[in-house]
Amino acid sequence: MLQTLLSVIGLVMVGIPRRIVETAETVAFENPEDAILRGWTIPMARIEGIGYLLLVRRTGLLSGVVGVVFGLIGSVAAVAPRRYLNFGLSLAYENPDDISVKSWVIPMTRVLGITALVMTVVSLRDSDDH
């Protein structure tokens, strides 16, 4: 199921990254019209989609170095969601200080971080059993 979900997300991100980013802005930002994307944001979204597809092709979905990195990123999002989000906004947007996120974005960032961390721990534990 996780592999199917990551495959779909990866394919969509590769195929229509601009639409995904614009939809995410509309859903998550109070003022999406003020957000100014950096030139590399859309190509990086496409590369992220390719990364998901490569991740799915591997056996042991979150094993090895990939799993550790995924878990570390998840732990940062879980422990410091505001800093994690601010860092991401500064990478993706020319004017991150002008962007207001909706009230649910910070708690959801924490939830997604915890989810990534749990998935990594379970996957690494399962790979040790084999």
Q: Write the single-letter amino acid at 73.
A: I
pLDDT 10s digits, 34-88:
999 999 999 999 998 888 788 777 655 555 677 778 889 999 999 999 999 999 9
Q: Whole-number mean pLDDT of the chain?
A: 88
Residues 72, 110: Cα–Cα separation, whole Å: 13
Tell me the mean pLDDT in the region 79-106. Answer: 98
Quick one: pLDDT at residue 63?
Answer: 57
The verdict on pTM exceeding 0.85 is no
Quick one: pLDDT at residue 130?
Answer: 55
Residue 85 burial (C-beta neighbours within 10 Å; 0-12, 13-18, 19+): buried
Residues 8, 6: Cα–Cα separation, whole Å: 5
Residue with tokens 């094993």: 63
Quick one: pLDDT at residue 123?
Answer: 74
How far from the centroid of its chain's Cα atoms is residue 82's Cα?
A: 14
Q: How large is the greatest C-alpha to C-alpha distance in the chain, in angstroms?
A: 50
- Take residue 45 and report the two structure tokens written for it: 């979204």
Residues above pLDDT 70, as percent of the chain? 89
